[in-house]
Amino acid sequence: MLIIDSTGVVIDPRVRHAISPALERGDMKIVHGIIVHQTGSSSAAVTLNGYKSTKDNPKPSGAHFLIDKDGTIYQTVSIYKKAPHVGFLKSRCVAQHTCSPTELKALKGKKPGQQIGEVELKKKWPSKYPSNADSIGIEIVGEALPKNEPNRDRRTYESVTKEQQASLQWLVQELSLTLNVRMAEVFRHPIVSWKNETEASTATW
């Protein structure tokens, strides 16, 4: 069980604090799920630098935690705050073949991305996947390779290191216990949104 202070920061020797205010998007009232990502970068330093607000990118995307290659865990957003890490939600009922006629009607003619995402956001969990509003995001440092491949779609994310794997398992289990999140509600990013299918594909929990 994690100790969390009044600001939503985890107090544990395994977690370093690198809170990035530019990632915060308001209060998060409840947590229903955990989404596991990979950064596409080679180091935590590069990713943390990208969490700063800039002229070109005033509202950066990012998650609550970041796991470096050596397994070091950084907390980058309070667990009481929403972070922009999911993107538009895929339809859970379509993926799980459980759509009611009403759900199918609402999805009819809708395009992947914003249109389907907006239909999904109107639903309540667990009819929808956990979203930015009710999930904790964990980023794992890892590149999409080979880097000299200009077509990003031909790049595949590298395998997580054994140190990252150990840290991820510890963090997911502690968050699950502390926030009362079911393990079945822990997803790789491409399950819940339209992302490169190899993202976090080697991560287990």
Question: Quick check: 202 binds other proteins (CB under 8 A)?
Answer: no
**Closer CB to other proteins, 73 or 144, in the complex:** 144
**Closer CB to other proteins, 95 or 166, in the complex:** 95
Question: Quick check: 132 binds other proteins (CB under 8 A)?
Answer: no
Kindly state the greatest CA–CA separation across the chain: 50
Q: What would the x/- binding string for other proteins be over residues 160 to 199, using CB under 8 A?
A: ------------------------------x--xxxxxx-
Question: Quick check: 5 binds other proteins (CB under 8 A)?
Answer: no
Q: List the one residue out of 198, 195, 173, 196 whose CA is nearest residue 186.
A: 173
Structure tokens at 187: 């997803």
- The answer for residues whose C-beta is within 8 angstroms of residue 99's C-beta and 6 or more apart is 91, 93, 107
Residue-wise over 28-63: b if at least 16 C-beta within 10 A, else e? beebbbbbbbbbbbeebeebbebbeeeeeeeeebbb
Q: How far is the CB of 36 from other proteins (least distance, A)?
A: 14
Question: Quick check: 150 binds other proteins (CB under 8 A)?
Answer: yes
d(CA 12, CA 4): 9
3-state secondary structure of 192: helix
Could you give phi then psi for residue 90, rounded to 5 degrees?
Answer: -75, 165
Q: List the one residue out of 154, 96, 147 whose CA is nearest residue 120.
A: 96
**Closer CB to other proteins, 112 or 177, in the complex:** 112
Question: Quick check: 156 binds other proteins (CB under 8 A)?
Answer: yes
Indicate which single residue of 48, 71, 88, 127 sits in contact with other proteins (rule: CB under 8 A): 88
Q: How far is the CB of 6 from other proteins (least distance, A)?
A: 31
Residue 115: HSE in the Cβ half-sphere, 13 Å Cα cutoff: 7
Indicate which single residue of 54, 98, 100, 173 sits in contact with other proteins (rule: CB under 8 A): 54
**Closer CB to other proteins, 78 or 91, in the complex:** 91
Residues of the shown chain interacting with other proteins in the complex, contacts defined by CB under 8 A: 40-43, 46, 49-50, 54, 56-57, 60-61, 87-88, 90-91, 94-95, 107-114, 116, 143-144, 147-156, 190, 193-198
